[in-house]
């Protein structure tokens, strides 16, 4: 299957996506657009019209590596919820710093929703801008208010 690339606007940023079928290879944030569309589930999520991207897979969750295990745990954090680095570490059988390193290297944010992973005493980080993390969390809070439900997708 052919690899596709495209972008979608999110606030002051563009979300660039590279994918093939339902398998997403890369998601990144940039200031300039790419030609082409992104998968419809991501478009709907970023527009606040969908609560998940569950029909899409991330290549990063496949395999037996520790990072893949961490990414699978992070994928289970419900829409509109957060978990701390320490909570994810306990579920994955590792330490919070390892979880932080995995989040910093996450090739498919939004598919593996690392914006839902926060520090015990603050938001934690997000690349390239903490503002994006805050905007994504706010998008999900608004989505919950619309439906009046705090339970996952």
pTM of structure: 0.91
Cβ contacts of 137 within 8 Å, gap of 6 or more: 82, 115, 116
User: Domains plus CATH for the chain?
Assistant: 63-147 (1.10.10.10)
Cα separation, 85 vs 97, whole angstroms: 8
Cα separation, 71 vs 117, whole angstroms: 11
Each residue's pLDDT, cut to its tens digit, for the chain (153 residues) gives 799 999 999 999 999 999 999 999 999 999 999 999 999 999 999 999 998 888 999 999 999 999 999 999 999 999 999 999 999 999 999 999 999 999 999 999 999 999 999 999 888 888 889 999 999 999 999 988 876 655 443
Which residues are the active-site residues?
A: 114
């Amino acid at each position: 299957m052919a690899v596709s690339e495209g972008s979608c606007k999110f606030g002051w940023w563009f979300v660039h996506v590279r994918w093939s079928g339902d398998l997403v290879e890369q998601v990144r944030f940039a200031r300039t657009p790419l030609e082409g569309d992104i998968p419809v589930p991501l478009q709907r999520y970023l527009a606040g019209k969908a609560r998940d991207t569950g029909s899409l897979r991330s290549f990063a969750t496949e395999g037996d590596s520790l990072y893949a295990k961490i990414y699978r745990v992070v994928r289970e954090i419900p829409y509109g919820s957060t978990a701390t680095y320490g909570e994810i570490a306990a579920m994955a059988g590792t330490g919070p710093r390892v979880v932080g390193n995995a989040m910093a290297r996450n090739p498919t944010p939004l598919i593996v929703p690392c914006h839902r992973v926060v520090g015990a005493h603050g938001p934690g980080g997000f690349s390239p801008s903490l503002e994006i993390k805050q905007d994504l969390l706010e998008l999900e809070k608004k989505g919950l208010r619309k439906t009046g439900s705090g339970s996952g997708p």
